[in-house]
C-alpha cells in the first residue's frame, strides 16, 4: 500500500470493510492498518489526531492506540499528556470496549514512562476495574493498569 495515496474515501472504504469482520478481527485489522500504514505518513497521522471524538469506535480506538504507541515506541510524545489523562479519567468507563482497551493501553504507557502521572494512571485502573479479572497467559503482562504499570516500569527500572 502506498501511504502517499491514502485518502479519506479510501479510509472510508477500508473502515466499512473492516466492520464486516468479528470485533476481535476488526480490532486486529484496524490496529495493523494504523501501525503499518497510517502511522507512516504525516497526512494520515494528522487525520488520526482528529479521530478522538469520531462517531466510529474504530477510529477512536486508533486515535488512542496511536497516542499509546508514541509512548511505547519511545518517541517523544506530544505535549497532550495532561489532556489525555483527564479525558481517560472522565470517559473510559463509558466508552465502547474496543476504545476502552486503547485508552487503557495509553494510560498504561503514560504511567510507565511519566512518573508524574503514574499514580493517576494506577487510580484509573483501580476505579474502573477494567481487565482486573482478565486471565493472562504465563509470562504475559496483564492489562489491569496497576499490575501492568508495576511490571513494565520494573522491567525498565523506572
Nearest to 146 by CA among 115, 113, 112, 96: 112
Give 120-149 pLDDT, tens digit per residue.
Answer: 999 999 999 999 999 999 999 999 999 999
The full set of domain ranges for the chain reads: 3-155
Give 26-76 pLDDT, tens digit per residue.
Answer: 999 999 999 999 999 898 999 999 999 999 999 999 999 999 999 988 777
CB 119 within 8 A of CB 108: no
CB 111 within 8 A of CB 117: yes
CB 151 within 8 A of CB 141: yes
Element (H, E) at 58: helix 57-72
Q: How high is the pLDDT of residue 66?
A: 95
Per-residue cell: 80: 497532550
User: Rounded CA gap, 135 and 97, in Å?
Assistant: 17
Amino acid at each position: 500500500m502506498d501511504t502517499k495515496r491514502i485518502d479519506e474515501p479510501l479510509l472510508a472504504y477500508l473502515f466499512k470493510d473492516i466492520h464486516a469482520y468479528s470485533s476481535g478481527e476488526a480490532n486486529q485489522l484496524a490496529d495493523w492498518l494504523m501501525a503499518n500504514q497510517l502511522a507512516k505518513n504525516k497526512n494520515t497521522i494528522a487525520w488520526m489526531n482528529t479521530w478522538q471524538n469520531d462517531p466510529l469506535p474504530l477510529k477512536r480506538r486508533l486515535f488512542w492506540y496511536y497516542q499509546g504507541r508514541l509512548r511505547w515506541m519511545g518517541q517523544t510524545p506530544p505535549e497532550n499528556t495532561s489532556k489525555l489523562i483527564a479525558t481517560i479519567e472522565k470517559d473510559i468507563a463509558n466508552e465502547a470496549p474496543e476504545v476502552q482497551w486503547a485508552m487503557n493501553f495509553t494510560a498504561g504507557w503514560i504511567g510507565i514512562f511519566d512518573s508524574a502521572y503514574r499514580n493517576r494512571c494506577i487510580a484509573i485502573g483501580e476505579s474502573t476495574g477494567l481487565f482486573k479479572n482478565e486471565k493472562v497467559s504465563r509470562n504475559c503482562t496483564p492489562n489491569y493498569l496497576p499490575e501492568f504499570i508495576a511490571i513494565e516500569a520494573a522491567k525498565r527500572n523506572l
